[in-house]
Structure 1
Amino acid sequence: MTSSRRAKPPTFSPEEFREALGMFATGVTIVTARSAEGTLVGLTANSFNSVSLAPPLVLWSLARAAGSMPALSTGSHYAINILAANQKGLAERFATKNIDRWADVAFTEGLGGAPVLAGAAASFECFNRSRYDEGDHVIFVGEVERCTHNAGASPLLFHGGRFYTEHPL
């Protein structure tokens, strides 16, 4: 049963919405894949979340207009690399357009060809299970086929437009 009810129009600007969202501290990831032609694909994302333990599912989202959308929406696998605190430079590089993001980046070949970044705090090698169009983004749900983590690594964090490292309370 669907409802005919709809949300009221926003009373805030897109800038105000972005600033409010920035108050939620997140980890920082780089999502990686290999296109059908063999080209390496990678982008910085902080829209990562767990979905289910059984089966092991995670999600992340990508702007529909992103240049990497064709490779990520049609490929069989991708990897989500949670960055360690000392990988701020990688986060910035993979968020920058029109550069060689992969120059001198150390990685191993993961499942389905998806690069797994060296030194990441954790990596999730995912089968591209499903996608959902919502607003101006596509939500990707990945079924985790392999994961690794470095228990001693401190994560890279993002809050209010800036990078941080963790500080236990």
Structure 2
Amino acid sequence: MSLRERLLGRPRPFDTYPLRIDDDTEVRKELERARILLRILQAQGETADESAVRAAAADLAAAEAQMAACYEQVILRAMPPDDFEALISAHKPREGSEDRVWNLETFPKACLMECVESDLTAAEWEQVWTEVLSHGERGELCNAAIKVNVRSPDSTLPKGWTQTQA
């Protein structure tokens, strides 16, 4: 694949936010119990009953599936960079406030609403915002939407991961 094809075909980044739909309190306990049991059995090494190890692994898989069922994965896709900048310009910082880059009251929600991908309409997302999401969930979702749009270079790439051409 050529550089042209790779650059022009580059998809916009996305992230997922696990939004809790059902109470996971009991499922978390079962998941931890299943993990501990499997670890104990695996730590026994060759002396462990192989059928017990398989049963524990199956229990862990079932608990993980139950945990996943408690959540809905909300997809947040980055806007085209110019659209993100335009959204920032549309939500300018307010004078006399703590705003620095954008209006802290309006921009985060607007960014979220632009980035969320789902089969819900804008009106339905507005209903979710006002009737379903907690204050903490709102903040986390908005932060995730902003983060997916701020495309900083990855400074965690290890030194020397590519060879220098002489």
TM normalised by structure 1 equals: 0.25
**Structure number having the greater strand percentage:** 1
Larger radius of gyration: 2
Greater fraction of residues in helix: 2
Q: Scaled by the length of structure 2, what TM-score is found?
A: 0.25
